[in-house]
Structure 1
Amino acid sequence: MKRGTTLFLKVAVILIGIPVLAICIFAVPVLGEIAAELLPDFAFIKYLVSIIFYASAIPFYFALYQAFKLLRYIDTNKAFSHISVKALKNIKYCAVTISCLHILVLPLFYLFAELDDAPGVIFVGCIVPFASMVIAVFAAVLQKLLKEAIDIKSENDLTV
């Protein structure tokens, strides 16, 4: 494959990481302060919010790195290899981790909804875990398909 065929996707992977970095730098400290103001009974809430959001950024960037590696494998004609399957497996695990971390924050969304009398806040809190689980299932399906394609390819290579 030509090198430029995945250039658009590589740029998209980089551009996806920039807003999340901006959120980590600018929005997470503000969210921690808002959580501390809304729930003054829980002194640790500011730190809990920050820890969970920053902890979920780590697997997010690892998954972006794995996606970038996968695109590099496609460029170098190594798409149908076990390293590609491993990259998809890592993306799946990262998505599950992000989903689990954000599910831990859902009780906070419930408390915010109770304080503001806005039940829609709970649905907003479900967006990230749901999207992460969709990505995890998609990566698992791609991983399985790629593994089966590699098995068929190796079987065909032996049938000469």
Structure 2
Amino acid sequence: MERGTTLFLKIAVFLIGITVLALCIFLLPWLANYTAEMYPEYAYLQYPVLIGLYVTAIPFFFALYQTLRLLNNIDKNNAFSEFSVNALKNIKYCANAISILYVIGSIFLISQNALHPGIALAGFIIIFASFVIAVFSAVLQKLLKNAIEIKSENDLTV
């Protein structure tokens, strides 16, 4: 992969991370306070929902970190390595964790009769996107493992 392509991807990952971090720091607390003021009957959910969203940010940022490490590995022409396989495996686990956490949060909000359809739609989009990322990571992980095996067999024959 060309250096310019990985640089573009690194910038994209960095911008995604900065955007989500800014949303976590500035928008989420404001939105939680605003929602608690507008709907006092659901004010008791302010902190559990906020904590749940912050907990889901942990695997998200870890997956971004693994992506940056994977891109650095590609820059070093070391894409076909166990490190890359492990990075993809970690990304898959993070995506699955995000999906599971959002399902748990949705079940919790449904049990409290507090799941607004708009919030449900956003949550289901995140669950679906995380599931798609997990599937693609698993496919890439398997392909990379097979490519590493073929490469090692070719290295032995030469």
- TM-score, with length taken from structure 2: 0.87
Which residue number corresponds to residue 140 of structure 2?
142
Distance change in 2, residues 1:39/1:146 (3 Å) = farther
| Residue of structure 2 equivalent to 1:50 | 50
- Segments of 5+ residues of structure 2 without an aligned counterpart are none
* Equivalence map 1:12-23=2 (5 Å): 12-23=12-23
Structure 1 residues 8 and 123, CA, compared in 2 at 3 Å: closer, same or farther?
same
Which string of whole-angstrom CA distances, capped at 9 and with x for unpartnered residues, describes residues 15-44 of structure 1? 11121011101221133335545363672x
CA distance in 2, matches of 1:29, 1:130: 25
Once the two structures are superposed, residues 81-119 of structure 1 have per-residue CA deviations (whole angstroms, 9 ceiling, x without a partner) of 000000000111111111111112214276243xxxxx4
Q: Percent identity?
A: 60
Report the equivalent of 1:111: 114
Decide whether the 8 Å contact of 2:99 with 2:131 is kept in 1: yes
Report how far residue 5 of structure 1 moved. Answer: 3.9
What is the alpha-carbon root mean square deviation over aligned residues? Answer: 2.0
Distance 1:62 1:121, change over 3 A: closer
Q: Aligned letter for 2:24?
A: C
**Which of 125, 128, 145 is the equivalent residue of 1:127?**
125
Cα separation, 2, equivalents of 1:60 and 1:112? 23
TM-score (norm 1): 0.86
Number of residues of Structure 1 aligned to a counterpart in Structure 2: 154
Using a 3 Å threshold, how does the CA distance of structure 1 residues 41 and 49 change in structure 2: closer, same or farther? closer
Q: What is the alpha-carbon distance in structure 1 between the residues aligned to residue 19 and residue 58 of structure 2?
A: 14
